[in-house]
Structure 1
Amino acid sequence: MKKFDLRKLKIKPVTVDQIDDRMLLINLYATQAITLVIGFIWLLFQKRNPFLLFAPPEGLKYLYFGAGLAALVIAIDFLTARFVPEEANDDGGVNERIFKNRATWHIVVLSLIVSICEETLFRGAIQHGIGPYWTSIIFATIHVRYLKHWIPTGLVFAISYALGWIYIKTGTLWAPIIAHFLIDMIMGLVIRFRREA
């Protein structure tokens, strides 16, 4: 049997255009699964029950905060798209590749998975340990595709901080999950149907 040599393993950078649709989705789902697992492990290290984060909240305050933040972010994004040159908002074509040919139901599913996984890790686990400011710096940094331009990087930081703020104000993870879900879903649908018009 031939022995595996780790030194012969080569890693080369790949652009989004070099990945086919199937591999793009596999990477997206895999990174979200890893995000959720890390979030649950982090919560367990904090001696917190991950499932209690998903307890049904009382009243509708969380819904108003989540939907309100989503509406504000979408309005700011449309204004930014209108007045800021397209190259200053460039994410390397990742969002367009993810959403432009996706079925509506799939955009909804992707948005839901991303919002639950990322909010569990960032708001549920990390923010509990280091607060919303440093959590937002980490959140903006992992959205590496935006780091080439300061406007989208600043927006991602501000959105993350706002998600952390509504989590604190409502006391439930469902508020940032709803906001994150609505932002991703509506922007995904805009990308999807803008290309057909």
Structure 2
Amino acid sequence: MKKFDIKKIKLRQVSVDQIDDKLLLINLYLTQLLTLIIGIVWLLFQHRNPIHLLQFPEQSNFWMYGVGLTAVVIAVDVLISKFVPDHASDDGGVNERLFRKRPVWHIVVMSFIVAVCEEMLFRGAMQQSFGPYWVSIIFAAIHVRYLRHWIPTGLVFSISYGLGWIYIQSGTLWAPILTHFLVDTIMGLIIRFRRYDEE
């Protein structure tokens, strides 16, 4: 029997252009599933109930925090795209590949799944342990495709800190989930329709 030699395993960097659409989506959904599982396990270790965390609050004013932060994020992004060259905010083409030819319903579904899974882990579980500042550093670091440029890295950190702040102010995870969902959906739709118009 042939022995397995771990030294013969070679890792190579793969660009987004080398991944087909199906594999890109599988990667996205598996990553979100893993994020959700880690978030739920973390919450259980904190002796907190993930289901209670997702209960809608009795006061419905949480949406004002979510919509307000969304408006700020979109306004800043529009200003950045107007005054900053494209190469300074390049993410390696990941967002364009994810949203460019996707049906609108799929952009909405993706955005909702990402918002719930990531907010459950970062705001719901991790913020309890580390606070919004350190969670925002971790959140920016895991969005590795932005790390080549300081503008998108700073934007991701700022958005994350804002999500942590509205979670504290509103007292419900639905405020950051709403913002995350709206920002991803709006940006996804902008990419989808803007790119189609230019082609």
TM-score by length of 1: 0.97
Which residue is 2:104 aligned to? 104
Distance in 1, Cα, partners of 2:97 & 2:177? 23
Q: Which stretches in structure 2 are left out of the alignment for 5+ residues?
A: none
Which residue is 2:45 aligned to? 45
Distance in 2, Cα, partners of 1:2 & 1:42? 41
Distance in 2, Cα, partners of 1:193 & 1:7? 47
Distance in 1, Cα, partners of 2:78 & 2:63? 22
Which residue is 2:32 aligned to? 32
Q: CA deviation at 1:36?
A: 0.3
Which residue is 2:158 aligned to? 158
Which residue is 2:131 aligned to? 131
Which residue is 2:191 aligned to? 191
- SS where residue 165 of structure 2 aligns? helix
What amino acid is the match of 1:34? L
Distance in 2, Cα, partners of 1:56 & 1:10? 48
Which residue is 2:116 aligned to? 116
Which residue is 2:72 aligned to? 72
- SS where residue 196 of structure 2 aligns? coil
Q: CA deviation at 1:119?
A: 0.2
Q: 1:50 to 1:88 in 2, by over 3 A?
A: same
Q: CA deviation at 1:195?
A: 1.3
Fraction of identical pairs, as percent: 66
Q: CA deviation at 1:5?
A: 4.2
- SS where residue 184 of structure 2 aligns? helix
Distance in 2, Cα, partners of 1:110 & 1:75? 22
Q: CA deviation at 1:50?
A: 1.1
Query: What RMSD over aligned residues (CA atoms) do the two structures have, in Å?
Result: 1.1
